[in-house]
Chain A
């Protein structure tokens, strides 16, 4: 069964600190992995997309890593800001044939940045 597991479920950090969120997946055949940021009650916003051959991708203070061998990804946030408080969702895309792709979503990590 294709699954995406994220940890921790929730995290509280002090403003200015760094943190790392984890994503493990069993999706196969893997196409790409995405990280989204979702503010409460708003639509998710794409942070990064990585294909099989990419190990790392950055978007400002966000850096995503991918190890396709161990099927793990992480999202590292540096110098956290209050505005980083949100849910971070890991999404894995698999090729389902006939030009179609399926997306499997993790349940997200809820990050709270406090002053």
Chain B
């Protein structure tokens, strides 16, 4: 158990819908990262927040957005969902901006 929690574990929705994935970092960690992993694909970095501020942006679509709240939990919002958005979405946290990242168990999203 990494100490990072993600909810929900599984999510099934239809194309065109909007969903929100939630992540609670380890206690004391200020950095939160979001990743997407499609079937048989490598991890794709989406976005990083540090203490509430966006710090780095990867291959995140405009239909996706994220934020980190004052209590340091983070949410990833996915809108106008397409079939290709079906994937595992991981959240990770670290103490610093560059520290070891601890990954959560992931949210498996299926878009039908």
Residue ranges of A at the interface with B (Cβ–Cβ < 8 Å): 31-32, 34, 41-46, 49, 89, 93, 96, 99-108
Q: Is B103 within 8 A of A105, CB to CB?
A: no
Q: For chains A and B in complex, what number of residue pairs have CB atoms within 8 angstroms?
A: 56
Q: Which of A32, A44, A45, A106 contacts B98 (CB 8 A)?
A: A32
Contacts of A41 in B (CB 8 A): 88, 106, 108
Q: Select one of A44, A102, A106 contacting B56, CB under 8 A.
A: A102
Provide 14 A-B residue pairs closer than 8 Å at the C-beta atoms, listed in order of the A residue. A41-B88, A42-B105, A44-B90, A46-B102, A89-B42, A99-B55, A100-B55, A100-B56, A100-B97, A101-B48, A101-B98, A103-B58, A105-B43, A106-B42
Q: In whole angstroms, what is the CA distance A104 to B58 when docked?
A: 9
CB-defined contacts of B90 to chain A, threshold 8 Å:
43-44
Q: In the complex, how many angstroms separate the beta carbon of A51 from the nearest chain B beta carbon?
A: 10
Does B105 lie within 8 Å of A43, measured CB to CB? yes
Nearest first, the 9 A-B pairs at minimum CB distance are A43-B103, A107-B42, A100-B56, A105-B43, A46-B100, A100-B55, A103-B45, A44-B103, A105-B42
B98 touches A93 (CB 8 A): yes
Q: A43-B106, A44-B103, A46-B100 are in contact. Are A102 and B42 (CB under 8 A)?
A: no
Q: Main SS of chain A's interface residues? A: strand
Cβ of B2 within 8 Å of any chain A Cβ, yes or no, is yes
A105 to B45 alpha-carbon distance, docked (Å)? 8
A-facing mask of B9-43, CB < 8 A → 1, else 0?
A: 00000000000000000000000010000000111
Could you say which of B42, B56, B104 contacts A101, with CB atoms under 8 Å apart? B56
